[in-house]
Amino acid sequence: MTLLEEQISMTMAGTNEPAAYIELKSINLPEDQTTELSSQLCQHVGELLEIKPRRIYIEFSNAQRHLWGWDSRTF
């Protein structure tokens, strides 16, 4: 699932140059792969949206199955 909000006023490190904040939530997120995921997301998002990787922040969350609902039940 993806949500992209454009034209949002956002500052990071005292400047308002283009930036992105990404939340990646997953059930059973493999912690040993977050570094590689960060690298790939920064490269891909940076190229698509013309944002420098140093201006892209990612929050990784490992969701517990019973706290994630869909289709009238939980995972």
Q: Does residue 6 sit within a domain?
A: no
Burial grade of 45 (CB within 10 A; 0-12, 13-18, 19 or more): middle
Q: What is the DSSP letter of 48?
A: H
Nearest in space to 19 (alpha carbons), one of 43, 66, 51: 51
CATH of the domain at 40: 3.30.429.10
Overall residue count recorded for the chain in this entry: 75
Domain count, the chain: 1
Per-residue confidence at 75, pLDDT binned at 50, 70, 90? very high
Side chain identity at residue 38, one-letter code: S
| Residue-number span of the structural domain to which 70 is assigned | 20-74
The per-residue pLDDT for range 19-74, each reduced to its tens digit, is 999 999 999 999 999 999 999 999 999 999 999 999 999 999 999 999 999 999 99
Per-residue confidence at 1, pLDDT binned at 50, 70, 90? confident
Per-residue confidence at 2, pLDDT binned at 50, 70, 90? confident
- What's residue 72's pLDDT? 97
